[in-house]
Amino acid sequence: MKLYLFAIGGSGARVVKSFVHLLASGSNIPIGTEIVPIIIDTDAKSLETDKLNKTIYKYGEVQRVLFDNNEDYRNSCSFFNTKILTKQFNFESLNLDSTFNKFLNEYEGQPRKLKDDIKNLMDSLYDTSPENSSDTELNLNLNVGFKGNPNIGGIIFNMLENNIDFKNLLGSINATDRVFIISSIFGGNGSSGFPALMNLFKQSELEGLQNAKKAALTVLPYYDLLTDESKENDTSINAKLFNSKSKSALSFYIQDNVLNSLDAHYYVADNKRGQYKYSARGENQNNPATLSEFLGALGILHFLNTSQFNPIENKFGFALDMLGSGAGDNIIHLGHFKKENKVYSHVLKQLISFAFAKKFFDFLCSNENALNPGFKDSSDFYNRSNESYRSVLNTYYEDWQNWIDELENTTSGKRGLKFFEFNREIDELIHNANKYKKLKIRDIEGEVTTSIRASTKQHKPFKYIKAINDYFNVINSPHPSL
Amino acid sequence: MINYKFLLHEPENKPPFQEWSFIPPITEEDISKIEDSVIKSTSGKIGTSIPTPLARLFTFKTAFSIVNKQLNAGEIDVEDIRQSIYGGIVSDCLDFLEWIFVEGINNFEQIPVNLTDNNDFGVTPNLLALSKAFNSTISSYFNKGLTITLFKHKQSGFIVGGTSPYSLLYTSPNWRREVKQAGLIQLRGLSADTLFDDTYCLLHSRNINFVSYLNSITNPILDKGDNSHPLKGFAEYVQTTIKKFGIIPQDFKAFDLAVFSPSHYFSFGFKKIDIESGDLIQSDFYLDKNLQHITSGNKPLVLSSKMTLLGQYVKGKPWSKDDIINFNQPYHSDLNKRKLPNSGIEYEYPFIIDSDLFQPKLIEVSYNINNNYFHTIESLKYGTRFLLPVKPLFFEIIGLDHISFEENLKVEETGNILKVTLFIPIIGSDGRYQKTRMVEFIKEYSIDTNSGKSDVNVTPFECAFFPFFRRIDMVNKNNHNKIILWLEKSNVENKISSILFYDNNLDIIGDNKIFNPYSKKSLDETKVDLKSGFPLTPVKRMEYGEEQFITNYFSTHLDFRLLEIKLAGDGYGGLLIPKFIELKRPFNKKFKYAIDFGTTNTHIEYAEMNHNGIIENTKSPFKVEISGNVPQINEKPLVVLMHKNSETLGDLDKVYPILMREFMPPSIGNDSNYYNIKFPTRSVMLDYKTPKNDTDAAFLHSNIAFKIGERDDFHPQAIYTPDLKWLLEDSNEIDKDIYKNRIRMFFEQLFYMIKYKATMDDCDEDGLTLCFTRPMSMKDTQLNTDIQKLIKLAIKKVFENDPNDTSKYIFELDESLAPYENNRAKFTNDSFCNIDIGGGTTDILFAYKINNVDYNFYLTSFRFAGNVIWGNEADPKTHNGIIQYFTDIASAKSKLHEKSHPFSEAFHQYNQYYLKGVSDSELVSVLFKNNEVLKFTETVFTNCIDFKLLLFIHYSAILYFVNFVYKKYETKLKYETTLSLSGNGSLYLNLIPVTAISNLLLKKFSNSTSNPIDGVIKEDFPKEITARGALLMKPIINQRSLVDDINSLDDDFVEVCIQLKEHTIDGSHVDTNSLTPELTKSLSSFFSIIIDLLKTNEKLKGQVGNISNYAEMFNEKYYAASIMKWLHVEKPNLKNIDSVFFKPLKYILFDLSNAIYEKNKIR
C-alpha cells in the first residue's frame, strides 16, 4: 500500500516534516506501507518546502547507507524502516509569471480577452487595485503565490488537471492505496488547493483514485504573524483575520459535498499561538515546528492505522489534559499522553526508543576514549571506513534534534512540546519523569557490543543501528507519568 | 485540569480524548461561536478564504449569518459587531439595497450574466481553468444555474455589484474606492446616514420604511419554514433585528418607493396563487383513475392534442378540437403546478398531456429483445429492438398488474413511420359522459434511418437479471437482492445517463436517487441498503481499452417491476419491463446440497429428501437450464439476458465473452453450450476491485471465475485468485482480510445460486440443508475455524438467518470418508482403502471390517497432491519442466499453421496466459481444458516418456505412505484390500498403468510375496464422488473409531526440523553435510526401492521412463539439500512441521521436471 501524501503550501510541508521524523523513529503503520509525499507550493522558493526536501533526503540517505538496498535489513529494523518516495510538484510548468488579469486575458503572449459580461462579472468579484497595492486581486502577480486569495488559487489549481506529471501521478494510485491531503484553511495555497484537488479527484475517472480511501487534515490557525500597524488593513496577511477567514471557509466547506465525501477529515488548531515576523517572500519565512504540526502528523498515522471508516463519524479532533497551572500549562510533556492510548503505544514509545538510541549514538561519537576497551576493540565503529555511516546518521540526527528543539521552544509565545532533556544523563533523558534506574551507559555498551558481535556477517553500518534499535526496543520504555 | 481542544470551535463530545477522536460535523452554529477579531475595515473586503471565483457571494452570505447569530447571542457588544469585518459587509449590502430602494434601478445599467455548470469561456487552458472553477461551484451550489444581474452605475460607469441569491445583492470590492474616484461622496439613503462611507450602519439604525420593505420580503420565507431557502440567513438577520430592537414594521404596501422587485431578478418567488377547493369547474375529461399521490387530491384532466372527443372542458365551455394543447409547450413537470391551457387566467390544476406519456424518440438496442421475457414493441423493419417509448406515468395510470398490451397500447407501421397509440380511460362529470371513454394519444416515430430525420437512436447495451422470478404467494419473499448487470459501450454518442427503478406502485426505488453509471458523485449518491449491505448505486467495473465497454452492477433488495433508461443529452428514455417468472407454489420440498470446496475445483451435488430427511434420489450434478422460449412453470433460468440466446448482440458481440465471464452464466449443466457452465468449477475468484471489507458483496466486485481460460481477448484489470482454500494459511494480516473477503464472496455466490435454484425447485430456505466437508489436514486448525466462520457469514448474508443451526448447515464432515460413502456398494472386501488426490491435498481412508457392522477407520491427509506434478509452487519464478517442454514444442508447431487454425488460436490464448506469468497450475488447467486441440498430454508424455517418471514417483510416494500406515497399524488393518482412487488430481493415473504398478510397488514396499491389493476402482468423474459421498454421509459417525494422527512418516524428526528451521530463517546457512542421515532416511529408503525397481524392470522403464538419466539427483546430499530448500523457502510454521518426506519431495520433483526438460528440450 502506498500513502499519497499531498502537502499543500507551508503548513502542509511542515506537518509532513513532523511525520517524517516520526517515521524515522518507527511509528507503527501497516507493514509494507510506502509514503509518497507530493509537495505542492506555488511559491517555488518556499523555505518550508526546501527544509522538508532536505529532511526527506537525509532520511533517504540513512536508509541507503544503513540498509544497502537489503529489504530484510530494512524490515528487521524499526528505525527508518518506512520507504519514502518523494515527488515534488511545482507550478513552474504552468508558467505563472504574470498577473492574474494577464493570466485570464492572454495566452502565450496573445490576447484572449474574456467576454464582456464575464469581464464585468470578474470586476465585480475581484479587487482591481493596481499591482503594487496590497489589496489587489485581479492584478496580483502570481509568481509570489496567492497571497491569501483562494478565490484566485481555486482557479489556478484547476490547471493541474492538464499537467502531464500530475496526471501520471494520479494514474499511479491504486484502489488499495490511500490519499491524505494536508492544507491550511487560512492562507492561500492550502485553502485553494485542497478543494480544487478534491474536485479534480471527484471528476477523475481513474478507478484507483476513485476508490482509494481519502482523508484530509485541515490546519486551522495555529500561529500569528507580527505585522506593522500600518499594514493592518492588508487583509491578505493580517493574522487578526485568520479566525474570520477560517470561519468563512469553514462555512463554505460544510456545504461542500465533495469535501464531505472524505473518509476521514482531521482538524487541528491552536489558540495559544506563537507570533512570528511576517516575510512577504517564502524563502525568508522560518517558523519553528509546532505542536499543531506534531498533532497533524499523528493524524496521518491515525488514518493509516484505521481500517474501517464510518461515513457519518468521519470528522476528527484532538484534545489533551493539561495538568497543573500557570506557565507550565504551555508545556506539553509525555505525561499528558496516557500510556494505554494508541498514541503512546504506536508513536511515542517508538519516539522514546529513538531518543535513547540517539543519545547513545551521540555518546559513542563523542566519548571514544572513555569507552570500555572491550567494546572499542570489538567493534569497528571508529574505523575510517565507517565514517560516512556515522556522518549520514549524524546529519539526520541533527535535523531531528532541531525539530525536537523547535517543538520545545516557547519563546515566541507558542505552546512547547517538551519530551526529552538531551543535556542530562541517559537515565534522565525523559523530561518530567523519574530516573530510569536500569539504564546505565556501561550496561548498554555491553549489551550492544554483544549484539554487534553476534551479527558479524551483517552489513556493517546496519549492524550498529540494528543493535541499538533492538536494545532500546526491548527495554520497556519508561512512561513518564509512572 | 484544563482541557485543550486543538480546534477553533467547541465540539459537542467530551474532551479530553487524547487521541484523534470523532467530533460531530461542524455546524453554522459552531462557526458563529468562533471568536472574531474585531478590526475596523474600510475596504469592505475580507481577503476571503473561499476557493471559488464566486467567493464574494458566499462571504456576504456568511456575513449575514454570523452577524445575525452574534446579535441573537447577545454576547458581543452591538457596537463591536457593527465595526467588525462582517458588520462592514452587512452594512455595504444594506447601503446598496437602500440606495436602490430610494432611487430605483433606473440609475443602473443592468447586465445579466448567465452561469451554468457547463460554462465555456474559451479554449485556452487558462480560460478552461476559469470555466471549471465556475462550473464546479455552480454544480455544487446552484444546480439549476445562476443568473447574476450586475448593476453598472450609469453616471460613473462603475459596477456597484450584482444580485445574489444569498443576500439579494452584493457589492464589488472596488466600489468603495470607486465611489471616491467618481466623486460620489455623500450618497444618501432615507436617513442622514451616508452610504458606502467608513461608518458602518446595521439594519436597526436604518429608516423604518426600508426595514419594513425588507420585512415584507423576508417574513414569508421564515413563515414558510423553508430551511433550504437561500435567503434564509439574510431573512433571519432582518427578523432578528426587528425583534431584538423592537421595531414595528409598517405595511410596506403603503409606500411606493420600492422599485426594486427582487422577484424580477430571482427565480424564487414570494407569491402563490391558491386555488380554493370547489373552484374547479366540472369537466368531462377526468382521468378514470385515482392518482391522488401525485395530484394533491385533484383528479387530473386528460387532454390530448387535437382530441376529437366531445364534452365540456370546464363547466359550460365545450372542448374545442382546435390545437389548444401545444405539444411542445414546456409545461411544469409537477402536474399540480400546471396552468390550465386556454383558461384565460393563470389557473393551476393538474392535467395529463401527450408529453407525459410518450418519449420523444425511440431507443434501439443492437439486438432483438427477448420478448418472451420483456415487454417490447415490434417493428417489421427492426424486429423487437426498441425499448418501450412510453413514460412510467402511463403504467401508473393503467396499473402494472392490469395492463393489457392489446387494449392499452397499439403499434402500427406504415412505411417508415411507426405509430404508437396509447389509450387512457377518462370519465366525465356530465351525465352524458359518465361512462368510461378512452382518450387516444398518438405518437408517430420516423424509423427512416437514411433520411436524417429518424427518431431512432441506437444505444448498445445489455442487461442481465438475477434472479428472474417473483414469488407472488409471499411478496415479502421478493425482498431478495435482485442483481442486474449492465453492460454498454461508453464511447458512443447516445450514452445512458441514468437508470430508474420503479416498484409495483411506480414509485422510484432508492430514495429518488438516480442510478447514473457515469456519475462522479458516487459518494454523494451512494445509499447503502442497511439490510443487504449492497450499495444501491452502481459500481463501475472496467473499461476495455479502445473498445470502451463498461459494466456496472446494480443491486436492490426491493421488488422492482420496471426500469426507465434515460439517455444523456436530451434526457429522454425508454422503458424495460421484465416479465418476471411468477412463482406461486407450496415451496414444501426439501433439498440437500453438498459442497466440496477443493483447492483447485469446487463441486456441488444435490438431492431431494423425503419428509423424513432421507435422500431418495441423488441429482447430479447441480443443473439449471434455460430454453429461451416462453417462460413455462418448469423452466429454471438463473439469469435472464435481454437478448435472445441464440442471436447476435450486434455492436456488443465483441464483448460478449466478458459478459459471460463476469456474470453468472444463465444456465448450469452439462450441455455443450456457451451459455452453460458445469460443476465442478474452478475455485478461483475474479476481482475488479480488491474486496476490503465484509460489506463488499459478491457480483459487485468479485465473482467466481466461471470462464477462466476461455476466449479472453481483452486485457482487463482483473485479478484471478486461485488456491482460495489455503490462502489464509500463510498470509500476512493485511492480505488476510482481503483474502477472507474473497473466500466469503465465493461462498456467497455459490449460496445465491443454490438459494434461487432451490426456490425454483419448489423449496424455500426452510427446506434447504447444506453440507460441507474438510480434509483431515485442516481439522483443528485455525484455517478451518476461519473458513467455517466465512461460510457462516456468507450463509447469514444470503439466507438472512441463523447460520449456527448446525442441523441445517453441516460443516464438519470428513472429506476422506466421502468417497467411501459413495462407493460403499462397490467395496465387497473386508478391507479397503480410498486415495483421494486433489489439487492441493491428498486424503486417504483406510477401513477394515471388524464385525458385521463395525469398521476400523483411519483417515489422514497431507499436502502432497496434483499441484506438485503440474505446478511451480517450489519456485514461482521458474516454470515447471512440463510447461516449458510443451510451450517450446507447441510454439514451434503453431508457426506451421495459419493464425486461424484451431491449434494456433488455442495456443495463442494459452500463450497469453503464459506470457502474463500466470502460475503453472493455472496454465495446466487451460491445457487440460483444451487437450483435444492442443494435444498437451500427448505432446509431453508420448514425445518424452521420461516425464512419466514424475507421475510414477508421485504415485509411488503416496503408496509408500499407504504401506507405512498398513505397517504401523498391522493389527487393525489388513492387506488384500480394494483400492479406490478419487479426486481430480488422480486423473494423471490414467497416463500410467496404475493397477499393475500399485501391486508391484506395494509388494516391494511391504516385502510381501502375495498381491496386497485385490483390485483398483477408478472413477470416471473422480471429483464428483466427494460431494456425492458428502450428500449421503450422516453428520455424526459415532460408531467409528477415527485416528487422525498418522500424517507424518517422520514424527521423530520434528525437533530436528525446528532447529534447522531456526537456522535457516535466521539467514545463516547450514552445511547440508551436517544433516543427520536419519533425517533423509525416508527419502533414501523410498528412492532406493523405486530406483532399484526401475533398474531391474525393463518393462516398467519402458512405461514410465528411465531414471538412470538423472542419477545425479538421487543421493543423500541431494535429499538433504531439498530438505534445506523446503525449510528455507516455505518457512514452515513451528507448530505444524510438515512431513520431512513429502515436503522435500515437492522440490525434488520440481527439479526433476526441469532436469528432464533440459535433457530433452528442442535444440
> By C-alpha distance, which of B86, B259, B57 is closest to B162?
B57
Amino acid code (one letter) for B390: V
Find how far residue B423's CA is from the centre of its chain.
40
Question: pLDDT band at residue B525, thresholds of 50, 70 and 90?
Answer: very low
CA distance B473 to A371: 89
Q: Which residues of B touch A191 (CB under 8 A)?
A: 49-51
* pLDDT digits 0-9 by tens, B122-161: 878 888 889 988 988 887 777 667 889 999 998 888 999 9
Pairs of CB atoms within 8 A across A/B: 315
Give the alpha-carbon dihedral of B69, B70, B71, B73, to 10 degrees.
Answer: 80
Q: Contact, B315 vs B282, CB < 8 A? A: yes
Half-sphere exposure of B893 (CA within 13 A, CB side): 21
Strand partners, B981: B835, B1018
Look-up: residue for cell 474452478? Answer: B682
Q: What is the pLDDT of residue B42?
A: 46
* C-alpha cell at position B1124: 534445506
* DSSP strand pairing (A315-317 vs B21-22): antiparallel
Q: Which residues of B touch A103 (CB under 8 A)?
A: 126
Query: Taking CB atoms and an 8 Å cutoff, what residues of chain A touch B59?
Result: 248
Residue B1002 banded pLDDT, cuts 50, 70, 90: very high
Question: In this predicted structure, what is the pLDDT of residue B95?
Answer: 93
Q: Which residues of A touch B41 (CB under 8 A)?
A: 233, 235
Beta bridge partners of A182: A7, A217
How distant is the alpha carbon of residue B483 from its chain centre?
Answer: 9
Q: Which residues of B touch A314 (CB under 8 A)?
A: 22
- The interface residues of chain B toward chain A in range 137-166, judged by CB-CB distance below 8 A, are 140-141, 148, 150, 152, 159, 161-162
- Cβ–Cβ gap A320/B172 under 8 Å: no
Amino acid, single-letter form, for residue B131? S
The answer to whether residue B426 scores a pLDDT higher than 90 is: yes
Residue B361 to residue B287: CA distance in whole angstroms = 25
Report residue B412's pLDDT band, with 50, 70 and 90 as the boundaries: very high
Q: Where are the beta strands (DSSP E) in B428-471?
A: 437-446, 456-458, 461-466, 469-471
H-run or E-run covering B239? helix B232-244
Pure H helices in B815-880: 817-823, 866-870
pLDDT of B415 strictly over 60: yes
> Cβ separation of A250 and B26 shorter than 8 Å?
yes
Rounded Cα–Cα distance for residues B991 and B999 (Å): 17
Measure B511 CA to nearest chain A CA, in Å: 18
Average pLDDT along chain B: 79
Give A-chain residues touching B21 at CB under 8 angstroms. Answer: 316-319
B176 to chain A, any CB pair closer than 8 A? The answer is no
Of B2, B51, B148, Cβ closest to residue A192 = B51
Cell of B277: 377547493
Interface residue B58 vs chain A (CB under 8 A): yes
Is A232–B523 a contact, with Cβ atoms under 8 angstroms apart?
no
**How do residues B715-742 score in pLDDT, each as one tens digit?**
455 678 888 888 887 777 777 888 999 9
Q: Classify B333 in phi/psi space as left (phi over 0), alpha (psi -120 to 50) or beta.
A: alpha
Q: Which residue has the higher pLDDT, B180 or A419?
A: A419
- How far, CA to CA in Å, does A412 sit from each of A272, A288, A407, B4, B98? 11, 9, 11, 19, 47
pLDDT tens readout for residues B844-858: 888 888 877 677 778
Q: Which residue of B has its CA nearest to A188?
A: B49
B530 interfacial to chain A (CB closer than 8 Å): no
The set of residues, in sequence order, having a beta carbon less than 8 Å from that of A95 and lying 6+ positions away, is: none
Other beta carbons within 10 Å of B547: 15
Q: Which residues of A touch B111 (CB under 8 A)?
A: 117, 120
CA dist list (Å): B1101 to B444, B992, B993, B1156: 82, 11, 12, 15
Most A CBs within 10 Å: which of B38, B126, B742, as the mutation test of the A interface?
B126
Indicate yes or no: CB of A125 within 8 angstroms of CB of B173: yes
User: In angstroms, what separates the C-alpha of A80 from chain B's closest C-alpha?
Assistant: 21
Residue B707: pLDDT above 80?
A: no
Flag whether residue B892 sits within 8 Å of chain A, measured between CB atoms: no
Asked whether residue B628 carries a pLDDT value surpassing 60, the answer given is no
Alpha helix positions (H), B761-839: 782-799, 817-823
Q: Contact A392/A61 with Cβ under 8 angstroms?
A: yes
**Chain B nearest C-alpha distance from A388 (Å):** 27
Q: How far, in Å, are A376, A447, B152 from residue A370 at the CA level?
A: 10, 17, 84
Contact call for residues B936 and B888 (beta carbons, < 8 A): no
**pLDDT at res. B1131:** 63
Give A383's contacts (C-beta < 8 A, 6+ positions apart).
Answer: none
**Which cell is A17 given?**
516534516
Q: B-chain residues within 8 Å CB-CB of A291?
A: 6
Q: Where are the beta strands (DSSP E) in B447-572?
A: 456-458, 461-466, 469-471, 482-489, 496-503, 539-543, 549-556, 560-567
Interior angle at CA B15, CA B14 and CA B20, nearest 5: 115
**Beta carbons of A317 and B6 less than 8 Å apart:** yes
**B 658-697 → A contacts, CB under 8 A:** 689-690, 692-693
User: Chain A residues with CB inside 8 Å of B174's CB?
Assistant: 123-124, 127-129
Q: Which residues contact A398 (CB under 8 A, 6 or more apart)?
A: none
Cα B846 to Cα B857: distance, rounded to the nearest angstrom: 6
Q: How far apart are CA B214 and CA B205, in angstroms?
A: 14
Do B689 and A211 count as a contact with CB atoms less than 8 A apart?
yes
| Average pLDDT value for residue range B500-519 | 64
Instruction: Indicate whether B477 pLDDT > 70.
Output: no
Which regions of chain A are under pLDDT 70? 44-45, 86-95, 188, 226-240, 277-286, 322-329, 368-386, 434-443, 449-464, 471-482
Return the pLDDT at A479.
Answer: 45
Q: Per-residue confidence at B560, pLDDT binned at 50, 70, 90?
A: confident
pLDDT digit string, tens, across residues B817-844: 788 788 777 777 788 899 989 888 888 8
Q: Is the pLDDT of residue B597 over 50?
A: yes
Which DSSP category does A330 fall into? G
pLDDT at residue A88 in the model: 57
Q: Which amino acid is at B296?
A: S
Those residues with Cβ within 8 angstroms of residue B1162's Cβ, 6 or more apart along the chain or in another chain: B888, B889, B892
Question: What is the Cα–Cα distance from A88 to B964, expressed in whole angstroms?
Answer: 66
Q: Say yes or no to pLDDT of B969 above 50.
A: yes
Tell me what pLDDT residue A381 has. Answer: 66
**B467: preceding bond cis by omega (within 30 degrees):** yes
Whose cell is 450574466? That residue is B113
Which of A11, A27, A151, A162 to mutate to test binding with chain B, by most B CBs within 10 Å of its CB? A151
Mean pLDDT value across residues B538-556: 69
C-beta atoms of A158 and B132 within 8 A: yes
CB of A389 closer than 8 Å to CB of A463:
no
Name every chain B residue with its beta carbon within 8 A of the beta carbon of A241: 37, 39, 46-47, 85
* Mutation for B interface: A126, A137, A140, A244, most B CBs within 10 A: A244
Q: What is the pLDDT of residue B781?
A: 81
* Chain A residues whose beta carbon lies within 8 Å of the beta carbon of residue B126: 103-104, 107, 112, 159
ipTM given for this complex:
0.87
Interaxial angle between packed helices A242-253 and A189-203, expressed in degrees from 0 to 180 and rounded to the nearest 10: 10
Chain A: give the shortest CA distance to residue B142, in Å. Answer: 12
How close B2 gets to chain A, by Cα (Å)? Answer: 5
For residue A158, give the chain B residue with the closest CA. Answer: B129
Contact status of B404 with chain A (Cβ, < 8 Å): no
- Least confident window among B234-238, B467-471, B542-546, B603-607: B542-546
Rounded to whole angstroms, the Cα distance separating A3 from A216 reads: 12
The average pLDDT across B87-92 equals 92
B19 touches chain A (CB under 8 A): yes
CB < 8 Å to B521, chain A: 202, 257
